[in-house]
Structure formats: structure tokens, C-alpha cells
A and B are shown apart, each in its own frame.
Chain A
Amino acid sequence: MTVAAADVPGPGPSGSAAADAPAAVLARYEELAELLSGMDGRPLADPDLSATAAAALAHEARLLDAGRFEDWLDGWTDDAVLWVPLSDRAHPGNDQSLLLDDHRRLAERIEWRCDPSAWGQQPPSRTTRVVGSVEAWDGPRGVVTRSTVLIDEHRHNRHQQLAAYQIHELVGDDLRRRTKILVVPALATGVRNPSFLL
């Protein structure tokens, strides 16, 4: 299956909302695909904007590592998307992902993380995120950032480290997260219980 926003017919003669609805979904997916595929060719970042964004990203990493998931959830917009693709060439409408959450499923994910019978995260993973190489640019909907992140995880008797990079769209004066794309190359070869990834 291959779909792209341009392939989707516009509203029919009736101009019904339902006919627009899949187009809106595909348009959001296209935004995600363009953010991912267009990152490598970007120009030198804006140093001041990058410093501002770095503080927001460090704050997010601190909340996640501390297990303050409700606070983390509060920092998202209503039209949030968290996407963890399986490769840096993926499209959210054509390829499997590890996850693609809207705000509703993000809230469910936090509920699951806090459920004492969710054995995949009980006992919970202890993580330490090392965020680096933060670059930021002005984008059409807000600030676009790319950063690297090393996620160190301890759980039961195991220890694993995953190197990744992340793309954020941060909107408004308070830099709320509208989009986050987390690219973990190890997902293409196999990861043990990745349910700690956010």
C-alpha cells in the first residue's frame, strides 16, 4: 500500500466532512514524514533558538527519567503526535512503526505505565537520558528541533543503552510539544522490551 496526501481525492460533490477526514489524517502523516526525511539537509541552526530549545528538551528528559509522566503529558498540545518509526526512511501511513500515539493514546500509555499489573513495566525501568547536539530552527508551526539522545535503561537484572535522535515540534510561548519523532536505529535489529521508550 502506498498513500500520500496528494493521492486522496478532495471532498466529493457534497463536500462532506467525512471525505475530508482521511485527508486530514494523511496530511498529518505527511507532516511527520517530511520532518523526518527533511532533517539531514537543514542549514546551520539558530544558536539562540537552539539554547532555548535545549532547556525545553532537558526539562522533558528530566520529567521522563523521574517518572513524572503526568507532568510530561501536560506538556503536549491537543493535536499531539509521538511517533517512534522503525527506520529513518519510514512513512507513518505506509510502514509499521513501534508506536504512533495521538493525545488519547499518550494518556493511555501513561495509565498503563502506572498500572501495577502492567508487568512489562513492573518493576519500572530506570532511565537516564543524555541529550546533546541540540539544533533548532523556526518552522511553519513552531520551533523545529533535532537532538541526539542516549537512553540508558536498568530493569530487573538487565542494562541496555540505546542511542537515538529525536525531532521535536515545539509550539507557543511555552514550547509545548506538538510532535516528537524518536528514531532508534537498534529497533531495526531487535530491542528487548522497548516499552520504556517515550
Chain B
Amino acid sequence: MTAANIDPVVADFGELVQPHRVHRRIYTDPAIFEAEMTRVFAASWCYVGHESEIPDPGDYRTTTLGLRPVLMTRSRDGDVNVLLNRCAHRGTVLAAESSGCAKRFVCPYHGWTYTPDGQLVAIPFPSDHPVEDYSTLSLGRLATATYRGFVFATLNADPEPLDCWLGEAVEAFDIIIDRHPGGELAVMGSPQLLEFAGNWKLSWDNAADGLHATFAHHSYNTLGSTVDVETVLARDPGSTPMVSKALRNGHMVVDQRPGIPQGPWATMRDVPFREPLESALVDAGATELLDLATGSMVNLSLFPNLIFVGNQLLVVEPVAVDRTRLNLWLTSAPGAPPEIDLLRLRVDEDFVNFGTPDDLDMFERVQRGLSVPEMEWIDMSRGLPDDRATDGTIRGPITSEAPQRRYLAHYAGLMTAPAATRAR
């Protein structure tokens, strides 16, 4: 089941993605978008969900891999499966709900029945169906691997091991997980879903952009300033000791911790019900846990679809060349006192309500601007020349555009030399 007939000459990506500038077409060309759904999203490891979302056998959650409908399930043996959510008969999407629990997946169209690990176990009225070996009609499987509860999957016919693909990103990944008591992190049930009329890569360009906060988020930085809260975003971002890192495989890190020596909680606005929940933790002698109510201050982006920001997982879902859906999942700290999660619920609303709308507006403005054919190029030269360390990581001030340059170079590689994809 290898994908065939991929046109290898969608575009010359060496021309469209140059070291200091990129062409508007990669954001506006529907043919490029269509190719990305296979060459980037099907051929890369993509985040599909967290094990805590499917704790029991039969639990499932639906999602997408690019545009492909995907099903993450827990089978009776406890294994996590990632399957194409597509009946092997006529192609009907099997599970329509976002999540649930099912011993069997029964196709609503003609009654073909599958186990949670994708095996076909029944066809109605089988006497007039010539198939003898049901195993040839299983649901399509994706290569699946987990890192500390995070489930990744790919249709790449020969993927590199997940650990290798993560590479140096593991360091930030562990920081984000290990701050939770017992290293225990879970994902809450329903995501915030925000759409914008723009290409999915605009959210990627933004994820490690340390300069935009000073301008696009000016209102966020000054909101509530009468109570004398100076958020770190309001300072000169280029002169802070914060660090950005451009990693292999398009991954990116912005480490804000060096710029916030007093700890993130000290910079947090007075969110609803902060005082009673905070004083309960202080009285219980758990003051040091308050930082857990905010994010890790380490923004990690795992190309192409998972961005850690605050305590949320921002999952980038492409919809069309000029349409993207952001899925914002909130993580919880099951090993911490309940006040931490109660605070998290209100803390992560803060940026989503007073920061994210500005990002969404910028993405839509950029997409509209990129519709101008006479202006072809996007400048991405800030911070050149890149200072590459011996391990290949490029470090710089958070205003450097090295992370954007590096993920786009990785992207150009994927688009130029497409990997074979197949369902297993």
C-alpha cells in the first residue's frame, strides 16, 4: 500500500527556499499544499495524541495526519495503535466522534467490523464474499512510537527511529515533562479549536519568533500594567539572556528561563481565583509548586505539528493552503495538589484570550499580503550568519530567524526528495 504517482516536480524548492529568503508560493500554492500533506505530514513523525487520553482498552481518539483521518486506540493487550480511520471496504470513515470507547468498530455503511487494533473480524453475510483471509483487509496501520506518553505516528515507509528523529529536542522535552511531580503529565479532554485564514507554516514561523512579541503582543505586555506587572515580553527581546535553538529535523526551542530569574509565577497576571488557590498552596507548604501552574518557559516545537507553549500542546492542523486549525490541548499535573490544575485552567486562558488573537490577526494579514504576486519574497535573514555548534545546533538570541531558516531548509529537503509512504 505504497503511495504512488507523486509528482516529483511540484516546484524547485532549492529556488523557493533560500538561506536568507523564501518565496511566497510555499504559502499560497495549492499544488504545494497538496504535496506537503504527503511529503511532510505523512512522511514525518507527527504527534497524534497522549496515552493519558486513552487509559483503558477500547478507548480511542480521532485526529488527523495532515488531511488523513486517523484513529488512536488502546487495544485489549494495552498497546496503543494508530490506524487510518478508513474502512477497508469502501473507504468510509469509521469513527466520527472525537473520542470514545468501543470494543469493536462497526462500519455504519455495510457493517464491516474491526477490533481496536485494526483487525477485520466480521463481514455481514460472508457467504457471498470471496475473501478467505481477513488479514488482507485490516485497517491501514501507521508506524507508531511513544516518548514518555506522547504518541507519534508516521506513514513513512522507512522512518528513522523516534529517538533519532527527536535528537537534541529530547533535552527540552524532558525539561517539560520532568517538572511534573513523578514525571507524570496528562492531557485534558477537549481542546480549544481556533482557525485562521492562512497557511499552516505561518504558525510555525511564529513559534520560535522572539521578536514579534514586542510588537504583535504589545497590548498583552501592557495589559493590567496599573497593577505593576511587567511581563517579560515587554522587554527588549534581543538583549535578554533568553536563547533560541534551531535543531535538526526542523525542531526549535526558545528557552526563556535565563531571562526570568525570579521564576514564571512572579510574572503571572492575577488570573481569576488566583488568590484563594495560591494561598491554599502556600499554607500547605507547597509554594515551590506554584511555578507548575505556569508553563515551563521552554517553548519546544517538534516539526511539523506539535508546539509546547505555556502548559498547552498546540497541535497545528492544516485544512487548506490558506486555512489552518490550531488545536490547543491543556496538560495537567496528576501528581500535584489539585490547586495546580485549577490554576492552569485559568492561567492558560490568559494568553489565548489576550495574546493569541493578535497572532491570528497577523497570520491572516500575512496571508493576504502574500497574495500580491509582484512581491515574491519573504525576508528571513535576521541573525545571519548562523553560528553552528559542533552538534549541529544553532544557538542565538531569541530575535534570530535561525529557527525559521533551519526548519524551512528541512522542509525543502522533504519536499525535494519525497520519502515513500505506505500503510502497514
A-side residues, CB < 8 A to B, are 1, 3, 16, 18-19, 21-22, 24-26, 28, 81, 86-87, 90, 92-102, 104-105, 108-109, 111-112, 115, 117-121, 156-158, 187-195
Contact = CB atoms under 8 A, between A and B. Distances in A.
B328 to A, nearest CB: 8
B188 A120 contact: no
B205 interface: no
A42 B299 CA distance: 47
B374 to A, nearest CB: 20
- Minimum-distance CB pairs A-B, first 3: A120-B357, A21-B276, A118-B219
11 contacts: A1-B341, A26-B342, A28-B273, A94-B188, A96-B330, A108-B354, A117-B218, A192-B195, A192-B360, A193-B194, A193-B361
Contact of A100 (B282, B329, B345): B345
B346 interface: yes
Contacts of A189: 193
A49 to B, nearest CB: 30
Nearest to B360: A193
Contacts of A190: 193-195, 325
A53 to B, nearest CB: 26
A93 B342 contact: yes
Interface of B: 186, 188-197, 216, 218-219, 222-224, 269-273, 275-277, 279-280, 282-283, 325, 328-330, 332, 334, 338-339, 341-342, 345-346, 348-349, 352-354, 356-358, 360-362, 364, 368
B308 to A, nearest CB: 16
A119 B196 contact: no
Given A3-B338, A97-B349, A117-B218, A22 B276 contact: yes
Contacts of A3: 338, 341-342
A46 B378 CA distance: 62
A191 B193 contact: yes
Nearest to A17: B279
B353 A195 contact: yes
A181 B281 CA distance: 29
A98 to B, nearest CB: 6
Contact of B193 (A25, A28, A188): A188
Contact of A1 (B328, B338, B364, B368): B338
A96 B283 CA distance: 27
Contacts of B357: 118-121, 193, 195
Contacts of B280: 18-19, 21-22
A188 B193 CA distance: 7
A104 B272 contact: yes
B272 A105 contact: yes
B272 A21 contact: no
A37 to B, nearest CB: 15
A163 to B, nearest CB: 17
A1 B334 contact: yes
B100 to A, nearest CB: 14
B223 A115 contact: yes
A95 B346 CA distance: 11
B345 A22 contact: no
Contact of B192 (A28, A86, A158): A86
Given A25-B273, A105-B271, A109-B353, A117 B196 contact: no
B298 to A, nearest CB: 21
Given A18-B279, A21-B279, A22-B342, A158 B349 contact: no
B188 A192 contact: no
A193 B195 CA distance: 7
Given A104-B272, A108-B224, A118-B358, A191 B342 contact: no
A95 B188 CA distance: 7
B358 A95 contact: no
B214 to A, nearest CB: 11
Nearest to B269: A108
A158 B192 CA distance: 21
A86 B223 contact: no
B190 A21 contact: no
A84 to B, nearest CB: 10
B345 A111 contact: no
Contacts of B283: 16, 18-19
Given A86-B192, A87-B190, A195-B357, A97 B216 contact: no
